[in-house]
Amino acid sequence: MPVINIFKSRIRSAFPNTKIEKIVAKLPFIGLDIEGIDREKIRVEYNPNRPDFSSDIGVFRSLNGLFNIKTGLPPFNYSSDRLYQLTIDPSVNQIRPIILFFVAKNDKINTFILNQLILMQEDLHNGIARGRKKAAIGIHDLDAIKFPLIYNTRAGNESFIPLGQTQPFKFKEVLSDLEVGKQYGNLLKNFNQYPTISDKNNKVISFPPIINSNNTKITDKSKNLLIEITGTNLEICQSILAIISYYLNEEGYKLFSGFVHENKSISSSLKLLKDKTVLVDKNITKRYLGLDLSIKEIIQNLNRCRIGTSITKNKRIKCFIPPYRIDLITPIDIVEEVAIGYGIDNLESTTPLFPISSGARNNYFRKIDEIKETLIGLGLLEMVNFTMLDRTISTIFNFADNELLEKIKVNESKSKEHEFLRTNILSSLVHNLSYNVHEEYPQKIFEIGKTFSFKNKIIEQWNLGVLLASNNANYTEAKSILQSIFKINLGMEFTTRRNDNNLFLKGRSADILYENKLIGFIGEISPDLITKFNLRVPLSGFELNLSTCFQDCKLK
Beta bridge partners of 162: 213
The CA-atom distances, in angstroms, between 70 and each of 130, 230, 347 are: 33, 33, 23
Sign of CA dihedral 431, 433, 436, 437: negative
496, 502, 504, 510 alpha-carbon torsion, rounded to 10° = 0
The pLDDT of residue 84 is 97
- Estimate to the nearest angstrom the gap between the alpha carbon of 494 and the chain centroid: 42
**Angle at CA of residue 381, ends 375 and 382, nearest 5°:** 85
In a structure prediction context, what are the per-residue pLDDT tens digits for the chain, which is 556 residues long? 789 999 999 999 999 999 999 999 999 999 999 999 999 999 999 998 999 999 999 999 999 999 999 999 999 999 999 999 999 999 999 999 999 999 999 988 889 999 999 999 999 999 899 899 999 999 999 999 999 999 999 999 999 999 999 999 999 999 999 999 999 999 998 898 999 999 999 999 999 999 999 999 999 889 999 999 999 999 999 999 999 999 999 999 999 999 999 988 999 999 999 999 999 998 998 889 888 999 999 999 999 999 999 999 999 999 999 999 999 999 999 999 999 999 988 888 877 777 777 777 788 888 999 999 999 999 999 999 998 888 888 888 876 666 777 777 887 776 777 888 898 999 999 999 998 888 889 999 999 999 998 888 888 999 999 999 999 999 999 999 999 999 998 888 899 999 888 889 888 999 999 888 899 999 999 998 899 898 889 999 999 999 888 886 665 5
Taken in order of first residue, the domains within the chain and their CATH numbers are 3-66 (3.30.56.10), 85-272 (3.50.40.10), 276-345 (3.30.56.10), 363-552 (3.30.930.10)
- Which H helix or E strand runs over 172? helix 171-177
Q: Are 10 and 134 in contact (CB under 8 A)?
A: no
Cα–Cα distance between 373 and 367 in angstroms, integer?
10
pLDDT at 382: 95
Residue 435's pLDDT is 87
- Per the CB < 8 A criterion, the answer to whether 513 and 542 are in contact is no
